[in-house]
Structure 1
Amino acid sequence: MNRLGRFLRHNGLTLAFFTGFLLTLAGQAVAGHADFDNQLTTDGLHPIGFLDYLATSDFAVDVTENWQSEYLQFFLYIFGTVWLLQRGSPESKELHKAGVESDREQKVGEHAGPDSPRWAAARGWRQRMYARSLGLVMATIFAWSWIAQSIAGVAAYNEQHLRQLQAPVSWVRYLGCADFWNRTLQNWQSELLAVASMAILSVYLRQRGSPESKPVGAAHVSTGVEG
């Protein structure tokens, strides 16, 4: 197998989902532009070009409100599964492994192997930081996405108010508006429902060959076992 073929095979999951992300983002932009122009026409205003739409706060807030909810899901899931368990689910650790586990189990410090990441073998803050790096990065992306949503959201909110000859609001005031929390909570509830459904349904249902499922013949009570 040549280098390109090996790269595609070794990174197929990331590449497939990232390609899907780009395609759906492009589709959202096209559909969003058409809807935005329809709204402008309804309000008696001139429609705008596609590239102009991509620079609008309406497009920005629609994108960022989805991003922040997705990264919230992963952030909560990564940190929550350290301590929270679900008997019989492959999404949970084994019942006796709740918590951060021992250095030996986590292969850190003196227990790190020759192929372990360098910071896993380090001492002090570097090891502590690296040991929580995945969750911290997810939390950081969530926080910045949420801030970006609020900034784009207040711009879109004020633009709509101005078209209706209403006074704009400040960013701080917008954070208490129903529009902001409606956009936020409608995404959060769906993400939390999806995680809860996956955790419990994977106890009783199977998907052969998927690491998100237990082996087809595994007992319902088997916990932390992947297929």
Structure 2
Amino acid sequence: MTAPPRIETPAADAGTTRTRLWRRLTGHALGLVFGALFLLALVGQALAGHAAFNAEQITDGLPPISLTRYLTSASFAADVAENWQSEYLQFFLYIVLTVWLIQRGSPESKKPEEAGLESDEDQLVGRYARQDSPAWARTDGGWRRVLLSNSLGLVMGVIFVLSWLAQSIAGAAAFNERQLADRQDPLSWSQYLLNADFWSRTLQNWQSELLAVASMAILSIYLRQRGSPESKPVGASHSSTGIEG
């Protein structure tokens, strides 16, 4: 005997909607949490930077500026861009270098025998692609598959270059504002690229990011974080390479 159709009540519909929404949120929780933390940090940087900028203005005998004006200033743009470019440089180098370079014992490294571009079978491309593989992965070579195969590194590299360019332009404008305030000659963009101020701001960010990556790759050989995919299983050997928990 056929069961009667189930009639959804408004309360049941609301419960189902909340369940679906919760599943969707938890399915993207990592990105959402980091996105929220990024916005909070950016707001905090804007407020603290505005206060520090105005304190310097008053010290120099100049009037303070509004928050809106500070957010559109070269000083704020340079501070934000120099952080972004160093982060994306870190990701670009890590993505590209880990194709070939091995750190024995680290879960952040591939296994020694997997160094290199790997086979089409390992990468699920061409005739080894699955039905749910991206369309360009199912092509028989050509520029589309080459582009997809290198898209992550390319995008990270492009964002790094654009952020670096934005930092250099905004940094030059901020530097020249200080030069004019001190009644000194401003520099052209090309001159600023050779200036110690630019490379001091740039390299202090690069060295911190590169140190962080090296620390993660090396410390994860001997240290563990239970349940994290960035760590080996707690009981894994220190010499185990490319094994994630």
Q: Secondary structure at the match of 2:98?
A: helix
Structure 2 counterpart of 1:83? 100
Count of aligned positions:
227
Structure 1 counterpart of 2:187? 169
Matched, 1:12 2:29: yes
Aligned positions of 1:180-199 closer than 5 A: 180-199=198-217
* Residue identity matched to 2:239: V
Q: Secondary structure at the match of 1:82?
A: coil
Structure 2 counterpart of 1:72? 89
- Distance in 2 (CA, whole Å) between partners of 1:176 and 1:127 is 39
Structure 1 counterpart of 2:197? 179
Structure 2 counterpart of 1:143? 161
Please, which runs of 5 or more residues in structure 1 have no aligned partner?
Answer: none
4+ runs of 1 displaced by more than 3 Å?
Answer: none
Kindly report the root-mean-square deviation, in angstroms, between the aligned alpha carbons of the 2 structures: 0.7
- Distance in 2 (CA, whole Å) between partners of 1:3 and 1:64 is 38
Return the TM-score normalized by structure 2. Answer: 0.92
User: 1:7: Cα distance to partner?
Assistant: 1.5
User: 1:3: Cα distance to partner?
Assistant: 2.6
User: 1:2: Cα distance to partner?
Assistant: 2.4
| 168-177 or 36-45, larger mean C-alpha shift | 36-45
Matched, 1:39 2:56: yes
- Distance in 1 (CA, whole Å) between partners of 2:242 and 2:150 is 20
Q: Secondary structure at the match of 1:84?
A: coil
1:193-214 CA distances to partner (integer Å, 9 max, x unpaired)? 1111111100000000000000
* Residue identity matched to 1:94: K
1:92-151 CA distances to partner (integer Å, 9 max, x unpaired)? 001101000000110001110011111111230000000000000000000000000000
* Residue identity matched to 2:66: G
Q: Secondary structure at the match of 1:83?
A: coil
* Residue identity matched to 1:109: G
Structure 2 counterpart of 1:132? 150
| 139-148 or 41-50, larger mean C-alpha shift | 41-50
- Distance in 1 (CA, whole Å) between partners of 2:227 and 2:148 is 31
Larger Rg: 2
Q: Secondary structure at the match of 1:183?
A: helix
Structure 2 counterpart of 1:114? 131
- Distance in 2 (CA, whole Å) between partners of 1:112 and 1:2 is 34
Q: 2:226 aligns with which of 208, 213, 218?
A: 208
Structure 1 counterpart of 2:9? none
1:164-212 CA distances to partner (integer Å, 9 max, x unpaired)? 0111000000000000000100000011111111111000000000000
